[in-house]
Amino acid sequence: MGADGDGEPSGGCSSDASGTRVGVDVGGTFTDVVTVRDGRVDVAKTPSTPDAPEQGVVDGLDAARERDGVAGSSIGFLGHGTTVATNAVLEGAWADTALLTTTGFRDVLEIGRQARPDVYDFRTEKPAPIVERHRRYGIEERLDESGRVVEPLDEEHVRALAAELRETSVESVAVALLFAFEDDGHERRVRELLDEAGLDCSVSLSSATLPEIREYERTLATALDAALKPVLDRYVGELVAKIGDRGIDAPLAVMQSNGGIVAAEAARERPVGTLLSGPAAGVQGATHVAGRCGFEDLLTMDMGGTSCDVSLVEGGEPPITTDVEVGEYPVSVPSVDVHTTGAGGGSIAWLDSGDALRVGPRSAGARPGPVCYGRGGTEPTVTDAQLLLGRLDPQSFLADDLDADPDAVRAAVAERVADPLGMEIEAAAQGIVDVANANTERALRVVSVERGHDPREVTLVAFGGAGPLHAPALAAALDVPRVLVPRTAGVLSALGLVTSDVLYDHATSRVRRLDAIDRDELERTFEAFVAAGREQLAEEGVPAERRRFERSLDLRYVGQSFELSVPLDSDLDTGAVETGDAGTTDPEALDAGTLDAATERFHERHRERYGHADPAEPVELVTVRLRARGVVEPPDLRVDRTGGSVEDAIADTRRVVYDGDARETRVYDRARLPVGSTFDGPAVVEGAESTTVVHPGQRARVDGDANLLVEVDP
């Protein structure tokens, strides 16, 4: 890969929309494949293979080839959303890792933060450290808070540690030295010394992984990155080999937690950036589809087989945060702000010790799956309950190799829920769905109402295999005016992979009073970030005219513990844009007016977030950020489906239960609904990968992209 001096692409995640673009997203239950070519969108779903996730990917590619004739040689772009790093953290299945840190700080991973999940529970146990204590080593060196050397690096000590590590089973080394974000010289020298000593390990530096303040978060992110490197490296290597065997020459691209794609090699170098790969792709896909419909303020709801991920999008930009948790670990790398709850189609219904009905977080997964899958499952799930309520057709909603058995579903619901509670089976099924909806409604309120946003002013975008089944009822409960169900709702995360930009985030902490900042130093920092970003985007094959550089600052009032990120430029898309054949950059000058404008934005955001602001208080710079963006030319998703009528799309009429009220309901074949058609609920719309339930009193319309818009209170 690479680029010549004029920025012409030679490989990588090219943003060229020509050729066949393929997105593959691995979920807990299914692996989804979306293929976009010549304006045509095809989808395929295959069961995930948790023990060998790369096999699920190639199974999906094989299904796309057999079903839709997608030849490997025709694929020009292959994007992948992966859960490998996430699962490794959740299961504790990471590599044997050592930590090298400044003497006196080896226990940072164990001490963590004072905060507890429940402030009144003094018995709360902290998560197990990523690196065990006997693998944590102190190094004689010290920088002060401004990056000045207080104690030089003891190179002989590092050589001795390298010799000691050679005699262990360590596969990876994390290096997190004090204040390395101010000067990374000591960390880089440690890596050189490890290499010179012949230590055959991957190495992660905090100055490259998370060069920001807060010792625990920085050390944890570096330790996670190191522990995941061998895991993701093996996975990507096996996957690249398998797709190569199928004649696919396109370089593999991987979705990052920040909502952007990068080449697989870049993901292997920084695996901690892939921890929210799948959920980020879903939000990106939802934002793209809704933006084409003219909706920019959204609640996104991705309900799959094992969980439901929700997010709030404002102004057409997915929200980015550095405050996320994966399992029990806070991971401070930039990530799309997603809140997850254990409520999916495969979530198991059960009774607690007080005979209260609960749903999730335990899931039936891909195997055995819900009872209705006929794979040996015995515990009732949300999907089973929807089947009993008539919302799913046992003859059509499963893959060809699965046979639904309604009698087995009724028996499971009766044994595990209805009989113990003295309820009718149908009422028990309605209860299971209601509990699942309540769990999801709470999650939607967390990202909207609890953050000061009015649900009446947004559009709910429902996707995932189970999302459209639940969304119209949830929208009514939250007073959301409309639900958007994308044409490819069941595989929208995979679609997000082919519509997302290439993104690289650069950051470094520089804790200074903003009114005393050295603007020349700040300018040099941004120039270095732009140069690095330009090189990365060129390596990805992004031509100069599609490169964007977006600058921001993390600011806080002096004395505060946490900060808010504000854009440095009034319009980030024009903050720094590649222009001309030479690929020059022309950002807005960093004069006093630019910083004053950023300060005003900080006051505004502080008022929006916390309800108050004090322009008289001094403001402090914490972290300098730049996002290097390679803008992807999105595929055309419009469809030419104007023939026929709504009546032609009626496939069946059957009894469906809504809140305990059974109604005869028309069932529509979504593929036969013409663009521009409308119909009233109650209705069930059956698609290839998902089913939408339009409740009584609601109205549905098919837009120009064949998306389904459900007006909750028409």
In tens, the pLDDT along 445-454 reads 999 998 889 9
The domain boundary residue, chosen from 604, 630, 656: 630
The CA distance from 321 to 334, in Å, is: 6
The domain boundary residue, chosen from 630, 656, 675: 630
The domain boundary residue, chosen from 274, 304, 328: 274
Assigned domain for 575 exists: yes
| pLDDT tens, position by position, 624-639 | 999 999 998 887 777 7
Mean pLDDT in residue range 155-163: 96
**102 and 226: one domain?**
yes
- Per-residue confidence band for 578, with pLDDT thresholds at 50, 70 and 90: low
Q: How far is CA 231 from CA 36, 95, 202, 226, 227, in A?
A: 30, 7, 11, 10, 8
How much is the mean pLDDT over the chain?
89
**100 and 189: one domain?**
yes
Q: Angle at the Cα of 110 (from 132 to 623), degrees rounded to 5?
A: 115
**695 and 589: one domain?**
no
Output the six-digit token pair for 267. 């993901």
Assigned domain for 408 exists: no
Assigned domain for 520 exists: yes
Assigned domain for 173 exists: yes
Assigned domain for 286 exists: no
**102 and 197: one domain?**
yes
**224 and 238: one domain?**
no
Assigned domain for 154 exists: yes
**75 and 110: one domain?**
no
**263 and 200: one domain?**
no
- The CATH code of the domain that includes 263 is 3.30.420.40
pLDDT score for 573: 41
β 75-81/252-255 pair status: parallel
Assigned domain for 328 exists: no
Q: How far is CA 32 from CA 18, 53, 650, in A?
A: 22, 12, 27
Q: How many domains does the chain have?
A: 4
Contacts of residue 637, Cβ cutoff 8 Å, sequence gap at least 6: 39, 41, 289, 292, 487, 705
Q: Global pTM?
A: 0.88
Whether pLDDT at 546 is above 80: yes
**580 and 531: one domain?**
yes
634 or 148: which leads in pLDDT: 148
**44 and 137: one domain?**
no
Q: How far is CA 35 from the centre of its chain?
A: 20
356 or 581: which leads in pLDDT: 356
**260 and 207: one domain?**
no
**507 and 605: one domain?**
yes
- DSSP three-state, residue 264: helix
Of 84-88, 133-137, 168-172, which range is least confident?
Answer: 84-88
State which residues form the domain around 45.
20-88+233-274
Whether pLDDT at 574 is above 70: no
